[in-house]
Amino acid sequence: MGINWCSIFLAVLSLVWNQPQSPAQVARVPQKASEVVIDASAPAHPFPHFWEQMFGSGRAILSLRDSYRRDLRDVKQITGLEYVRFHAIFHDEVGVYDEDAQGHPQYNFTYVDQIYDGLLASGVRPFIELSFMPRKLAAQDVPHPFWYHPNVSPPKDWQRWDDLIAQFSKHLIERYGIDEVAQWYFEVWNEPNIDFWAGQPKQATYWELYDHTARALKQVSPRLRIGGPATAQAAWADAFIRHCVENKVPVDFVSTHVYGNDAAKDIFGTDETIPRDQMVCRAVRKVHDQIKSSAMPNLPLIWSEFNASYFNEPAVTDSIYMGPWLAGTIRQCDGLVDMMSYWTFSDVFEEQGVVKQPFYGGFGLIAEGGIPKPSYHAFKLLHHLGSERISVDSDSVLVTRRKDGSLVVAAWNLIPAEPTQAGFTKTIHLRFEHLAGSSRAYISSVDRDHGDAHPTYEKMGQPRYPTQDQLKALQQASQLPPPEIRELPHGELNLDLAPDGLAVIEIK
């Protein structure tokens, strides 16, 4: 049988033409531009910066470290940070509670003072999570799997728990004054609906814990703010409000948590697949609506933990994905929540043990060694958004106005959070109407080429223990360049957004 070389050549050529493109190749292919019309004189609604007023962090004792305090000051400089929340103020390593040889309670607030003095010196107030159980006050020894093994048992004696809460809060007032402490928040426990609470049945025994804590705190001063249930998976909020109303238990706010990769079954009782970039705000809306339909519809909603993932996923929390994910979350949650606490501001964090390398999928904005991540720069840029929001017809553009009338626009190109997922460059055509006089656009971006140390880290060979010189190089590589300045001919601007890119545009 003869060989048809022409057919073979054409077949090979076809295979070459149809080879899957690498992510870098695909990223260079722009999609058709979408137009967004922005009326600078349009009506707007208030846009408080609810996403940057509070941040979570590791357990209390870590706040005594110099690295923790440096990271805290850095995040304070670039955001509207007002409150920090951490676990385990009552952990034995803080030394608050002990008993003498006769079993009488003894209190020591030396480390508590150092912890809260440090926060206040950085211009930040505590959002106090009242947890976990001191070993000598615990009904049983129930260590949580976290590396530092907090005891999640109920107390052996409710009167002694009440006295601990009373002595703790009295000491804070004596040291800092009631006018100061009345501006703090007190939250009862952490995620009692899962393995952070060993009481059985969980809900009924948590109600008992909450009731004792709230009443003991309010007896010290009715000005102190108390709330809960601090649950995982947006759980129990409606039942919690009903319990407080029916039993006349003090409550000043509702708090709960959710993460982008939580399961719909746990949040909504459904088998649907909810995208990572929609889960948080769908859960926020659920609890918001529960509060509004309750007997206490004006209770503030404080989302005291959120992030795109509760796992260590380097391709998510360490990556440029966090820029568009955060911007989209802000857009969707606007108007539904009073305050949201990103988990966490720093990778000075030890729930899974001592940090082993700079990039491991930690939750923080700043990696080990003081290396800012793309999420750090996303918060930095989004801090520049204005105090009013103008509605536009787009799910990837956020338009705000400052008090001086100038506009600040965020635009992004979110790609599904999969390490192998390729993406396309996205072109957005912004057309501004009713701009006063000639204007310029100052464009800052977070993407693979701006604010991401990973390319430099990869060229280094991804050292597990970077040298001081390597750390300096990584810190330098992670910095954002100055904004790109463009004129706005006819009030129009074309933006090419790289995959998982975020741009913030200030119109001046």
Q: 252: closest CA among 289, 217, 284, 203?
A: 217
User: What's phi and psi for 230, nearest 5 deg?
Assistant: 55, 35
- Judge if the upstream peptide bond of residue 132 is cis by omega within 30 degrees of 0: yes
Q: What tokens does 214 get? A: 């709230």
Please identify which of the residues 52, 129, 187, 191 carries the catalytic annotation: 191
Contacts of 468 (CB under 8 A, 6+ apart): none
* Residue at 42: amino acid letter: A
Q: Give the C-alpha separation, 310 to 233, whole Å.
A: 11
* Residue at 25: amino acid letter: Q
Residue pair 187/128 in contact by the 8 Å Cβ criterion: yes
Q: Give the C-alpha separation, 101 to 211, whole Å.
A: 30
Whether 305 is a known active-site residue: answer: yes
Q: Which helix or strand (DSSP H or E) is residue 231 part of?
A: strand 226-231
How deeply is 222 buried, as exposed, middle or buried, from its count of CB atoms within 10 A (0-12, 13-18, 19+)? exposed
Contacts of 211 (CB under 8 A, 6+ apart): 247, 249
Return the bridge partners of 446, or none: 502
Please identify which of the residues 187, 305, 313, 368 carries the catalytic annotation: 305
User: Is 326 strand, coil or helix?
Assistant: helix
- Judge if the upstream peptide bond of residue 229 is cis by omega within 30 degrees of 0: yes
Whether 174 is a known active-site residue: answer: no
Contacts of 220 (CB under 8 A, 6+ apart): 166, 169, 170, 173
Q: What is the DSSP string of 397-446?
A: EEEEE-TTS-EEEEEE----S-TT----BEEEEEEEES--SS-EEEEEEE
Q: 341: closest CA among 253, 429, 273?
A: 253
Contacts of 58 (CB under 8 A, 6+ apart): 68, 86, 87, 344, 346, 348, 349, 350, 351
Q: Give the C-alpha separation, 469 to 476, whole Å.
A: 11
- Judge if the upstream peptide bond of residue 79 is cis by omega within 30 degrees of 0: no
Inter-residue long-range contacts of 170-178, CB under 8 Å, 24+ positions, other chains counted: 170/220, 171/107, 171/109, 171/112, 172/112, 172/116, 173/220, 173/221, 175/109, 175/113, 175/116, 176/116, 176/120, 178/221, 178/223
Residue pair 356/319 in contact by the 8 Å Cβ criterion: no
The residues annotated with a catalytic role in the active site are 191, 305
